[in-house]
Chains A and B, each alone.
Chain A
Amino acid sequence: MERIPILQMEDVLLVTIQVDMHDKLALTLQDELTAYIVTARARGVLIDISALEIVDSFIGRVLSNIAAMARVLDAETVVVGMQPAVAITLVELGLSLTGVRTALNVEKGLAFLRAAPAQGGRHDDRPQV
């Protein structure tokens, strides 16, 4: 079964979605990503969807959910590289992904995560990598 690779860059997880997202794949990603955030003690998640040309309401909601779950686990999620057509579709569907950070590309998303002040107190006792 195909899987979406999750890469770890220091304390940031990078997920690049390059295949068409179907519902089951999205749910698998949600499971694996939350587990990974906990084991890697990540403080940021970058989801690159620049290769995605179709995002339906379900995938939109999964992205929203992942961001909310990551926040509970004290990690900030940034969705990067959304295509104009996808953005228009999501807005027309009434999904504006509130609570999800966005950036134009991976570089800017990473810069944002680096600049963002640590949230919560748990981060302080995390060993520096």
Chain B
Amino acid sequence: MRSNGASKLAEIIQNETRELLADWIEQQCAANTLRRDLMNERELREQSQQFLRTFSEAVQHGTLTDIMGPAWATVRELLEHISSSRATQGFSASETATFVFSLKQPLFARLRRAHGRDANGLADDIWQATVLLDTLGLYCTELYQQSREGIIARQQQELLELSTPVVQLWDGVLALPLIGTLDSARTQMVMESLLQRIVETGSDIAIIDITGVPVVDTLVAQHLLKTVAAARLMGAECLISGIRPQIAQTIVHLGVDLGDVTTKATLAGAFAVALQRTGQRLQKS
């Protein structure tokens, strides 16, 4: 019975590909999960066609239970492509998986017609098809998630690199405008790039500007103090500037001791101190 049923599934997919495809696309277009703003119908038609073709080949040559087998390699490859392209296009995970799941309805309708009154055979076939399509759908979701994670990791890396510029303000004066939250990983990066620039430029003074740091808690303060201590060990002095009124209040309420670090409200104030300490003077002409 089972082998007979399995052959029916393969038979339908092979013999009625054209009709199945038409039905499937029609249904996908009618469904409200279709994002016309993100992809056009032609692309959808192309993807559906490719999927159905590779799917029918795989059903014919491979087992229906093991989609990781060699017969399913082309299907997996195609799904990988579709998932990653939809992830970058901005589809949600369920919208991506629905692409596979939506094949069920037209396929089941055909199975019902083919089996006629054979209820057992129909149930067997539907079960088999469900398991198969569910596995493929979940595989699709997994791939989608992987490519999204890839995107996030890449953006994180880019953000990290973008967010730690060390600029030279004047002869012997460096500035480090910090923007965003300071966590351990960023502090490490900030510290390394600052110390490296101090060595390269032979600067005596570095100004850490925290205007763009939204929250200063005890941990952030500790990270700042570590950076200051490391710079001091190398023989450079650090000034902290850009302390907003709320931040000053938080620092005092938290009982954070900034020690003997010179702090200024504005970068301009810190720059003036830096010029004074390095024995330089700016003057309006």
Contact = CB atoms under 8 A, between A and B. Distances in A.
Interface of A: 79-84, 86-88, 90-92, 96-97, 102-105, 108-109
Q: Which secondary structure dominates where chain B touches chain A?
A: helix
Interface in B227-284: 229-236
Interface in B139-172: none
Contacts of A102: 232-235
A104 B233 contact: no
Given A84-B199, A88-B195, A91-B226, A109 B235 contact: yes
Q: Which secondary structure dominates where chain A touches chain B?
A: mixed
Given A91-B229, A104-B202, A82 B235 contact: yes
B192 interface: yes
A108 B234 CA distance: 12
B105 interface: no
**Most chain B CB within a 10 A radius of its CB, from A81, A82, A88, A102:** A88
Given A84-B192, A84-B195, A84-B196, A90 B202 contact: no
Contact of B230 (A81, A87, A108): A87
Interface of B: 188, 191-192, 195-196, 198-199, 202-204, 226, 229-236
Nearest to A60: B233
A92 B222 CA distance: 11
B204 A87 contact: no
**Most chain A CB within a 10 A radius of its CB, from B188, B195, B231, B233:** B233
B278 to A, nearest CB: 11
A90 B226 CA distance: 10
A100 to B, nearest CB: 8
Contacts, number: 56
B192 A88 contact: yes
B234 A96 contact: no
A105 B192 CA distance: 19
A87 B195 contact: yes
A104 B203 CA distance: 8
Contacts of A96: 229, 232-233
A64 B196 CA distance: 24
A87 B202 contact: no
Q: 6 closest A-B pairs (Cβ-Cβ)?
A: A84-B195, A103-B235, A102-B235, A87-B230, A87-B233, A104-B235
A108 B204 contact: yes
**Most chain B CB within a 10 A radius of its CB, from A86, A90, A91, A103:** A91
A55 to B, nearest CB: 10
A51 to B, nearest CB: 14
Contacts of B230: 84, 87-88, 90-91
A91 B229 CA distance: 7
A104 B204 CA distance: 7
Contacts of A86: 233
Contact of A80 (B203, B231, B235): B235
